[in-house]
């Protein structure tokens, strides 16, 4: 294991690992924002109600229609 650090500079290795982790975090956030569950608030207009209240009202409408 110690021979790896003879080939790789520890400072560059740490920077590379941190840069990769930051990139993965950004990719994960953008993927989640593109899903309907987590990213739908980006396209909605502000009506002064939270998403939980909106979802409850939609469920009540669906139950009333049945």
Phi, psi (deg, nearest 5) at residue 29: -65, -45
pLDDT digits (tens, 9 = 90+) for 6-49: 898 999 999 999 999 999 999 999 999 888 887 777 666 655 55
- pLDDT score for 14: 94
Report the pLDDT averaged over residues 50-57: 61
Q: How many CA atoms lie within 13 A of 56 on its CB side?
A: 5
Domain segments of the chain: what residues? 1-37
- pLDDT score for 5: 84
d(CA 34, CA 12): 33
Other C-beta atoms lying within 10 Å of the C-beta of residue 42: 8
Other C-beta atoms lying within 10 Å of the C-beta of residue 22: 10
- pLDDT score for 1: 81
d(CA 54, CA 57): 5
């Amino acid at each position: 294991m110690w021979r790896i650090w003879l080939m790789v500079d520890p400072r560059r290795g740490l920077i590379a690992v941190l840069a990769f982790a930051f990139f993965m975090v950004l990719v994960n956030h953008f993927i989640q924002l593109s899903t309907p569950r987590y990213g739908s608030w980006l396209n909605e207009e502000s009506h002064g109600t939270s998403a939980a209240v909106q979802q409850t009202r939609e469920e009540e409408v669906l139950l009333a229609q049945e």
